[in-house]
Structure 1
């Protein structure tokens, strides 16, 4: 909330409170107060434009204006009580939207030494049909947003937070379109189409995979943070699964539900989803190693011999499967992901990290535990760390979309990511140290990194 909003709402609610509690004392100054509030409303609209959070606020202003215009001597006790209750309700309603969603979320700031640039690739795999849609002529789209080191003095605009922001559907997931009205002002900490830093001729690559149905946007804090430490992070969107994606032809793709055709429950559905994601990852890897990368100065600046992979939730499990299948991937980190289906026999042993939120009670995470134990059996050099105050959503930007009161309430009642900034910084720090040690053939001392943060414990790899 900006200063003009705080001043406007404070003056409005204080005036409404005085009118409710001591109406006789404010009779003489009510009209000037209402006039001041209307002026503040106009100033706010001119400076920042319309916020949906102000809907009950405008209704309160109208109600107070009516009270000011019509003398109270014409009201009986019943009408006075009704007016008081109405003003009280609208005053409370004016504060509630601001306590639920923040109009312009503030993302976690990158902590590395590099400024961050970003660009988007909307690729089409013409060798694959799009099996999710009903059109047999559709080809599979794969959307990749690159986050990378840039020069500190690079100028430009920040990237758009949400894909297709100017052409959104009525709902994005379960959230109404109106929630995203001012997301064009979200500072992603990434300068759009900036020049990649010249500190290195080629940069190591981290492929980042999203959680089930999640869009890449909601991992901006983590991927921008990783890029600031000297990686090119390729965050992949999976169209028709991600809640919002803009395809190569400009079309906006939203989820197409295919779960109902799986009569045997979620296991095969999730396994097939991993298989589709794996094909997307393979396509991206092929784009990086293709013979035409020399024609693209950005792709030619990526080190194809230093590729690692990570992801959150289903993306973390997919990352492990990807490493088992593809020798181009040197290490994998699973962030809170559950494995579905069988794990392919890896072509060689490589380092693996599991970073997780608190898993309590254990009997609710049997599939999660069994899957990750299989991963540790398949890969060498396993590491496992738990952030005990984090929950599954703490690794995403989702908690930052909530205003602090609702974030705290949701965190205490539902365990919904009540410490996102610490979790983001710790996640980036641990992933950076893990990948750096692997890619540079150095000893990995993750214990010292974990000790920088309260509530991170190392768990044994059974």
Structure 2
């Protein structure tokens, strides 16, 4: 909510309460309040555009205007009830969804720029669609350090905002009508900052079914600390992404009905993701993939990978298969399938939500123990204030009352802003040590937060 929204809703509450409490509603103060409210609504409409959240408020203002000019003393009790009920209804939309959510602000020393690349892997047939001529698309958004004085338009939060399908994942798309106003804290196609040496690279993979957009807070935050972050969308698994030909691709789930636990299905999706990662690495090595000299400043000897949920497990699996990846972070991810037989000692970090609330899932624990064994150990930290969705932007799409309710009743996105900041700081410390060789400060970062606990690794 912006300051104008808060002012309008606050004035609406004050005016409505005044109308209910005082019988002399036609006095000057009441008339001025109604007039000011009407003017502010018109300003909002022309400045920010139509919000569906305001529909009950428009009705409330209309009723208040009628009360100013129409005297109906015999129906005063009905008026009071109508005003009270409509005021509650007018507040409900604002208590559930925000028209323009506010993301977690990056705190690194760099401004951030961003570019989107929509690549086609001509060597792979798309496995998920039914079209035998489909080639695998991989969509990558680069978030990178930019000059502090950079000016320009912030990047769009979500692909396809002007032409969304009726639903994006489980959310009606009309809720996202004004997501083009979300400040991503990154300027589209900004001039990159000059680096003293080449930039370290981090690939970031989203959770199953999630669009890359829902990890903008983490990606921008890490880029602000001096990394080039390539955030992937996996088409037909992502909630929504735009392909190279302009088509909007949404989730397709074609798992076999005879496999209710979907183990084979999830392993197949993880394998597709690993191939996507390897394709992106090939593209980064292919200088012809880019039309800007910025990508010649990437240090391809310092590549890390991170991801959330299935993305975290995929990143770790990708490192096990590809020696170009030097360090991996799994954020709350469950591994499906096996790993190569050879053991390669490489830096590995597991960042997890509070497992005390939901108990350790056997598959989650077994998968991560096998990763620790494969990589020869690593780091493991639990964020006691976080749940599985706290690492995403999704809780920030909700208004504070709904976010609080969802957090404590449904374990959906508790302490998300704090979780984003803590996770970015942990990843920065981990990659600074493992990719750049600087002294380890991971424990020191964790100790800043009373809610981060380092856990023993017992593989």
TM range (shorter): over 0.9
Aligned residue in 1 for 2:436: 440
Is the 8 Å Cα contact of residues 287 and 296 (structure 2) preserved in structure 1? no
Aligned residue in 2 for 1:171: 167
Aligned residue in 1 for 2:64: 64
- After superposition, the Cα gap between the structure-2 partners of 1:427 and 1:270, relative to the gap in structure 1 and judged at 3 Å, is same
Aligned residue in 2 for 1:359: 355
* Distance in 2 separating the partners of 1:373 and 1:124: 35
Per the TM alignment, residue 218 of structure 1 is displaced from its structure 2 partner at its CA by 0.8
* Distance in 2 separating the partners of 1:323 and 1:83: 67
Is the 8 Å Cα contact of residues 262 and 268 (structure 1) preserved in structure 2? no
- After superposition, the Cα gap between the structure-2 partners of 1:261 and 1:45, relative to the gap in structure 1 and judged at 3 Å, is same
Q: Which has the larger displacement, 185-194 or 140-149?
A: 185-194
Cα RMSD after superposing both structures:
1.9
Per the TM alignment, residue 295 of structure 1 is displaced from its structure 2 partner at its CA by 6.0
Is the 8 Å Cα contact of residues 107 and 188 (structure 1) preserved in structure 2? yes
CA deviation profile, 1:218-275 (whole Å, cap 9, x unmatched): 1111111111111110000011111110111111111122235453422112111101
Aligned residue in 1 for 2:288: 292
Between the two proteins, the alignment pairs up a number of residues equal to 457
- After superposition, the Cα gap between the structure-2 partners of 1:213 and 1:228, relative to the gap in structure 1 and judged at 3 Å, is same
Alignment of 1:15-414 (within 5 A): 15-22=15-22, 24-29=23-28, 33-73=33-73, 75=74, 79-259=75-255, 261=257, 263-290=259-286, 292=288, 296-346=292-342, 348-361=344-357, 363-414=359-410
* Distance in 2 separating the partners of 1:336 and 1:384: 11
Per the TM alignment, residue 64 of structure 1 is displaced from its structure 2 partner at its CA by 2.6
Per the TM alignment, residue 27 of structure 1 is displaced from its structure 2 partner at its CA by 4.0
| SS of aligned partner of 2:24 | helix
Aligned residue in 1 for 2:451: 455
| SS of aligned partner of 1:309 | strand
- After superposition, the Cα gap between the structure-2 partners of 1:292 and 1:160, relative to the gap in structure 1 and judged at 3 Å, is same
| SS of aligned partner of 1:324 | helix
Is the 8 Å Cα contact of residues 294 and 300 (structure 1) preserved in structure 2? no
* Distance in 2 separating the partners of 1:89 and 1:345: 66
Is the 8 Å Cα contact of residues 344 and 376 (structure 2) preserved in structure 1? no
* Distance in 1 separating the partners of 2:151 and 2:216: 20
Aligned residue in 2 for 1:11: 11
Question: Which ranges in structure 1 are unaligned for 5 or more consecutive residues?
Answer: none
- After superposition, the Cα gap between the structure-2 partners of 1:128 and 1:293, relative to the gap in structure 1 and judged at 3 Å, is closer
Is the 8 Å Cα contact of residues 327 and 347 (structure 2) preserved in structure 1? yes
Is the 8 Å Cα contact of residues 293 and 299 (structure 1) preserved in structure 2? no
* Distance in 2 separating the partners of 1:325 and 1:247: 27
- After superposition, the Cα gap between the structure-2 partners of 1:261 and 1:344, relative to the gap in structure 1 and judged at 3 Å, is farther
Per the TM alignment, residue 443 of structure 1 is displaced from its structure 2 partner at its CA by 4.2
| SS of aligned partner of 1:26 | coil
Per the TM alignment, residue 138 of structure 1 is displaced from its structure 2 partner at its CA by 1.5
Is the 8 Å Cα contact of residues 358 and 386 (structure 1) preserved in structure 2? yes
TM-score by length of 2: 0.94
Per the TM alignment, residue 82 of structure 1 is displaced from its structure 2 partner at its CA by 3.5
Is the 8 Å Cα contact of residues 293 and 300 (structure 1) preserved in structure 2? no
- After superposition, the Cα gap between the structure-2 partners of 1:395 and 1:139, relative to the gap in structure 1 and judged at 3 Å, is same
CA deviation profile, 1:399-445 (whole Å, cap 9, x unmatched): 11112222222222122222112211111111111111112334434
| SS of aligned partner of 1:329 | coil
Per the TM alignment, residue 454 of structure 1 is displaced from its structure 2 partner at its CA by 2.2
